[in-house]
Structure 1
Amino acid sequence: MPFDPTAPMWGSLLGSCRVHGNVELAEVAAGNLFEIEPGNAATYVMLSNTYAAGRQWEGVASTRKLLKENDGVMKKERGKSWVEIKDKVHTFMAGERKHPRIMEILLELKRGVYKPDAGYELHDVEQGKKLELLKHHSEKLAVCFGLMSLPEGIPIRIMKNLRICGDCHSFMKSVSSVESREIIVRDTNRFHHFWNGHCSCNDFW
């Protein structure tokens, strides 16, 4: 390349390493990202997921240790998603409790048969708590509210302030198939168009 790779380029390479199971190259990409963006927690998450996908549990443990050691310099932006219903924007935070219809939304989540993958949750808590944290990611809450509020056949469009996690990505594919609903998620990286159990990114983002 005639110029130095940028953080998004290294991030794209790191993301592809998980898809293709290339741990060695993932470590190179993550190492460069640690230098360019030392406070970006997403790098630790993607590297840990790459180790976990390859069942390299020592790598997962070391990444978690690094994350904990650098806790003081991390940019901890809380996950937030928006969905527009009848010209009104509804905002959901991760672990939302203030929305007037939050209890209905949580019941809608429980109604589904989707099983969360705790491997995508890096908080140092026990397994059951990890699953609860994953269930309440903001985009999951937003899509459930969209299912409750929009007529059948109307696409659900969600905006998110962070990169969609792998578990939420799988959740969206599942919902689009079971509910026969088009779901569009715009995260910090790209648009994801979910339909009939598939995403336009082909699981590469």
Structure 2
Amino acid sequence: MILEPGDVLVVIDVQNDFLPGGRLPVPEGDRVIGPINRLIGLFPHVVVTQDWHVPGHASFAGSHPGRAPFDTVALAYGPQVLWPEHCVQGTAGAELAPGLDATRAGLVIRKGHAPLVDSYSAFLEADRRTRTGLAGYLRERGLRRLFLCGLATDYCVLWSALDARAEGFETLVVEDAVRGIDRDGSVARAWAEMAAAGVLRIASAAITGT
């Protein structure tokens, strides 16, 4: 696929805490860095997202006595999966992976910084009302086709892809530049949800420069 001027690569949450050895490691999460770096060199536009939590965030299991990671609790906006403490502002775990070449990113979106609201999607936080501003940025820049990559397939990539389609953007996920947590078949379900919403899959090797 030959890239066009309105194409943008959206690199989702490639941060230390999501890599092997981090606080919330995605299996083989480090394997996405090579394909993503190659794509960054090809795309006319690059956007990067970061999880950016305050200490004691409501999505952390440690904020709920008696609860464990991956339990689900009811928060004001609905069910919330609880996570190990991760991507806390100002910590090494929240930093972008040192091997990721993010110098060409035109925009960095930090999400999940509201203490009582989690945020998977690059577009909308988990209350489904609070916008990150990404959709407006893309429209004002005339960017129409999104290629998503990063971590994790079954959470932040999934929610971002679904919201991108809901916003009317053509959306593709680079299948060898994502990895998932995959609890109880969650990756397979994520791919099925994305396909049903009109999200396409593409291999990084099929993408060439403008």
- Say which structure is richer in helix: 1
Structure 1 or 2: more strand by fraction = 2
The structure with more radius of gyration = 1
TM-score by length of 2: 0.31
